[in-house]
Amino acid sequence: MTETPAAGTAPATSPAPAAALATRPQALLLDFGGVVLATRKRPEGMAEVAGHVAEVLARAGHHIPAADLLPVLSGGRTALRDWKNSASRRLAPRELTHREIWGDFFGAPLPPAAREVLMGQAGALQQMVTLTLAEHSVRPGIRELVELADSLGVPLGIVSNAHSGRAHRAILERHGLAEAFGVQVYSDEVGVRKPNPEIIDIAARALGAEPGRCWYVGDTYDRDVVAGRRAGAAAVVLTRHRHTDEVPFPVSDVPDAVFDTPEGLVAALRAAEPPRAGSPGARAAREPATGRPGRPGGGELPSALLLDHGGVISVSRPDDGVRRAFAELLATRLTRAGHTLTTDQALRTLKDIRAAHTSWKARHELPAAPLTATVPEIDATTFWVELAGPVIARALSGTPVAAFGAAVVPDGLRAWLRAEAHALMVAYARAKSVPVVRRGVRELLRAARAAGVPVAVVSNTVNGRAVREKLDAAGLTEYVGAHVYSDELGRRKPDPELPAAALRALDADPAHAWFVGDKPARDVLAARAAGVGHVVLVRGGSTSDDALAALADDDPARPDHVVDDMTEPAALMGLAPAAPPDSGRPPAGRQPDPVPGS
C-alpha cells in the first residue's frame, strides 16, 4: 500500500475483503465518539467552562474574570488538540494525566497558585469540560447492533481515547447503554492511548478474547485504523463521522470496510459465519448477566486552614446495605464480562481486599522514616489488579484463602480489572461507609470565609472524587478553595507534599497556617514537615484518647492543641462566629453528572 500524499486527505479504501468480515468475532470492540455516539459541539460551551473555572479559583481567593480565562482555556484546548495529533504519530503513546492537562495545557499561563488549584481538581474539571463542550446522541444502528450481538453471544467492549472516562461512562448510562458493554477501556484510566495497540489488547483480554479474533471499529485513520492494525485485529472497520477525513498526516494503513453509519456493521455481523466447532476462534455463547448491576499570639489571622476529611470534617459509620450494594455491583459487572461471581461471594471478598490494602499501607508507610521521606499512595490499578485480583481469582476458582498474592490472576480477569479499576474504585469508596458531618464544621467554614481565610481539604483517600461528592452532598464545596487527595497526588500523609501542595494552591504562608487532623503519625508529621505553624488534633476520629494522652512532650507527632470537637478550632484561631447564610447554596454553574453505579 502507498502512503497518502498529504495531510488532510483520507486514504482511499477498497471494498471489504470477504475474509476479514466473514467470520463472527470473539468480541466486538467499539470506539466511543464517532461509532457509538455522535458528538456535536456546543458553541456556548467554552464560555460556560470559563465561568465555572472562575468560580473554582475564586473559592481559593484567586479572582480572575471569566472573560480573561476564556482565551487562556481556548488556547489550552488548541494546544491539547495539537498534542493529540502529535501523539497519534507515535508508536506507543501514553495518555496525559488530568493534572498534566490542567497544569501544562489549560493552566500554563496562570499564576502558580491558581494553577495548583486547578491541578488539585483536575479530574472533576475534565469531566465537566467533556460534558459541557459537546452534546452526544446515539448513532443509527447502535441499538440494533447491541441487540444482535447479545443474541449471538458476542461480547461488546468500548475502546476510547478519552480525557475523562468517568464522563463517558456517565453518557453511556444516560443513554441506557452501559450494561451492553462487558468492559469499557478509556485511555485516561489505563494510561495508554491509541494508536498504542495495548489499549485494544486490554479490552480483548478483559472479555476473554484474542485481539486477532476481534473486530475493532473506529472513526479515524491515524488513531483507530493504525491501532487496529498494530494490535492485529481480525477486522478493522470505520464508521464515518465528522473527523474521519481530517487526517493530520499521511497514513498508509487502510480499513477492511468503511460504513457511513454503524447500520452497515449490523448487516456485516449478521452475515458473518460462526467459527467452526473446534477451531481456535470458537467460543460458546454466554448467557446474559442477570441481576442489577491563633490565630497566632501576635493577633494575625491564619494564612490558611487545612482540614483532613475523615475524622475531622466527617465521621463515618459502616453500613451493611451500601457494602452489599457494592458487592452486587461488582458481581454483576464481573459476570457480564464472563467471570461469574455471586453477590455473596463478592461480599466475602471485600473483607480480604480491605485486609490486603491494610497490609499494603503498613509496608509502604514507614513510621520510622525521616519527616521528608516520600510515602507513596496506591493507585486504582494497583489496588484492583495486584491486591484485589488474587482475592477475586480465589473466589472465582473456589480456592480457600491462603496468603495475599498467592493466587494466579487469569489474564482475562487481570485485563478486565485494569480497564475497570477507576470506575470500581469510586464505587468502592462510596460504599466503604456512610459519612456524617461533625458538629461545628459548618460554623468553622462559615467563620473562615467571613474572615477571608482560605480553606483546603487535605486527605488520604483511595478516591478523591468520592470525597468531593461527599462534600458536595453535604453542601460544603462552596467553602473549599483547594482539594489535595493522596490518590490524585500519588503520595499520602505523612508525606509533607500533601499540605505543601495545599499551601501552594492557596498562596499561603506555612508558618501562619493551621492544620486540623485526627492522626498524630500522619497528620501532625505531615504538617510539621511542610512547615505548618499550628497543628490541632480533634478527638473522636480514628485515634483513641489513650493514644493521644501517651504522646511525649518531645514526640514530633505531638500536636499544639487537642480539642474535643470541631466547635473549638475557630476560637483557637481567633475567628469570629459567622452569621448563618440567608439562603441555600449559591449556584455552582454547570456541574458534571454523577456516574450512576460507577
Cα–Cα dist 499/497, whole Å:
6
Both 526 and 567 in one domain: the answer is: yes
Residue range 477-529, pLDDT digits in tens:
999 999 999 999 999 999 999 999 999 999 999 999 999 999 999 999 999 99
| Cα–Cα nearest to 456, from 312, 316, 250, 301 | 312
What's the confidence (pLDDT) of residue 319? 86
Judge whether 365 lies within some domain: yes
Both 351 and 496 in one domain: the answer is: no
What is the percent of the chain with per-residue pLDDT over 90, rounded to a whole number? 79
- β-bridge partners, 355: none
Both 122 and 81 in one domain: the answer is: yes
Cell 480525557 -> residue? 163
Judge whether 3 lies within some domain: no
Residue 232 neighbours by CB under 8 Å, 6+ apart: 197, 211, 212
Q: Confidence class of residue 279 from pLDDT cuts 50, 70 and 90? A: low
Cα–Cα dist 328/215, whole Å:
31
Q: What average pLDDT score do residues 287-303 get?
A: 49
Judge whether 7 lies within some domain: no
| Cα–Cα nearest to 470, from 523, 506, 431, 499 | 431
**Cα atoms found within 13 Å of the Cα of residue 42, Cβ hemisphere only:** 14
Both 349 and 412 in one domain: the answer is: yes
Given 133, 168, 199, which residue is the final one in a domain? 133
Both 128 and 170 in one domain: the answer is: no
Both 446 and 518 in one domain: the answer is: yes
What's the confidence (pLDDT) of residue 284? 38
pLDDT exceeds 50 at position 168: yes
Judge whether 555 lies within some domain: yes
Judge whether 412 lies within some domain: yes
Three cell numbers written together for 288: 446474559
Given 431, 456, 489, which residue is the final one in a domain? 431
What's the confidence (pLDDT) of residue 581? 60
| Distances in whole angstroms, Cα of residue 535 to Cα of each of 270, 305, 412, 573 | 67, 10, 48, 11
What's the confidence (pLDDT) of residue 374? 87
Pairing between strand 134-138 and 156-160?
unpaired
Residue range 370-426, pLDDT digits in tens:
455 789 999 999 999 999 999 999 999 886 654 444 578 999 999 999 999 999 999
H or E stretch including 215? strand 214-218
Both 112 and 159 in one domain: the answer is: no
How many CB atoms neighbour CB 204 within 10 A? Answer: 29
Both 255 and 381 in one domain: the answer is: no
What's the confidence (pLDDT) of residue 399? 67
| Cα–Cα nearest to 76, from 41, 43, 125, 27 | 125
Cα–Cα dist 187/173, whole Å:
19
Three cell numbers written together for 22: 466473514
Three cell numbers written together for 352: 480480604
Q: What are phi and psi of 487, to 5 degrees?
A: -70, -25
Judge whether 346 lies within some domain: yes
As for how many domains the chain has, the answer is: 4
What's the confidence (pLDDT) of residue 3? 41
Q: Confidence class of residue 316 from pLDDT cuts 50, 70 and 90? A: confident
What's the confidence (pLDDT) of residue 16? 46
Q: Confidence class of residue 13 from pLDDT cuts 50, 70 and 90? A: very low
What's the confidence (pLDDT) of residue 536? 97
What's the confidence (pLDDT) of residue 544? 84
Cα–Cα dist 157/37, whole Å:
14
What's the confidence (pLDDT) of residue 576? 84
**What domain range includes position 82?**
42-133
pLDDT exceeds 70 at position 567: yes
What's the confidence (pLDDT) of residue 330? 97
Q: Confidence class of residue 545 from pLDDT cuts 50, 70 and 90? A: confident
Q: What average pLDDT score do residues 269-295 get?
A: 55
Reported residue count of the chain is 598
Q: Confidence class of residue 365 from pLDDT cuts 50, 70 and 90? A: confident
Q: Confidence class of residue 366 from pLDDT cuts 50, 70 and 90? A: low
Q: Confidence class of residue 578 from pLDDT cuts 50, 70 and 90? A: confident
Start-to-end Cα distance in the chain? 44
Residue 326 neighbours by CB under 8 Å, 6+ apart: 350, 427, 428, 430, 431
Q: What average pLDDT score do residues 578-584 get?
A: 57
Judge whether 386 lies within some domain: yes
What's the confidence (pLDDT) of residue 10? 55
The CATH number assigned to the domain holding 207 equals: 3.40.50.1000
Residue range 458-474, pLDDT digits in tens:
999 999 999 999 999 99
Residue range 48-78, pLDDT digits in tens:
999 999 999 999 999 999 999 999 999 999 9
pTM (2 d.p.)? 0.85
What's the confidence (pLDDT) of residue 66? 98
What's the confidence (pLDDT) of residue 227? 98
Both 80 and 26 in one domain: the answer is: no
Both 425 and 536 in one domain: the answer is: no
What's the confidence (pLDDT) of residue 552? 86
Cα–Cα dist 440/104, whole Å:
39
Given 367, 400, 431, which residue is the final one in a domain? 431
Both 407 and 455 in one domain: the answer is: no
Extended strands (E) in 219-361: 235-239, 257-259, 304-307, 314-317
| Distances in whole angstroms, Cα of residue 414 to Cα of each of 28, 190, 357 | 19, 12, 18
Both 52 and 33 in one domain: the answer is: no
Helix/strand/coil percentages in the chain, nearest 5? 45, 15, 40
Residue range 125-141, pLDDT digits in tens:
999 999 999 999 999 99
What is the percent of the chain with per-residue pLDDT over 70, rounded to a whole number? 87
Q: What average pLDDT score do residues 108-117 get?
A: 97
Judge whether 522 lies within some domain: yes
| Distances in whole angstroms, Cα of residue 567 to Cα of each of 304, 310, 444, 517, 590 | 18, 16, 7, 14, 33
pLDDT exceeds 60 at position 231: yes
Helix runs in 88-111, H state only: 98-100
* Mean pLDDT across the chain: 89
Helix axes 142-152, 263-271, angle to 10 degrees: 20
Burial class (CB in 10 A: 0-12, 13-18, 19+), 130: buried
Three cell numbers written together for 466: 468520592
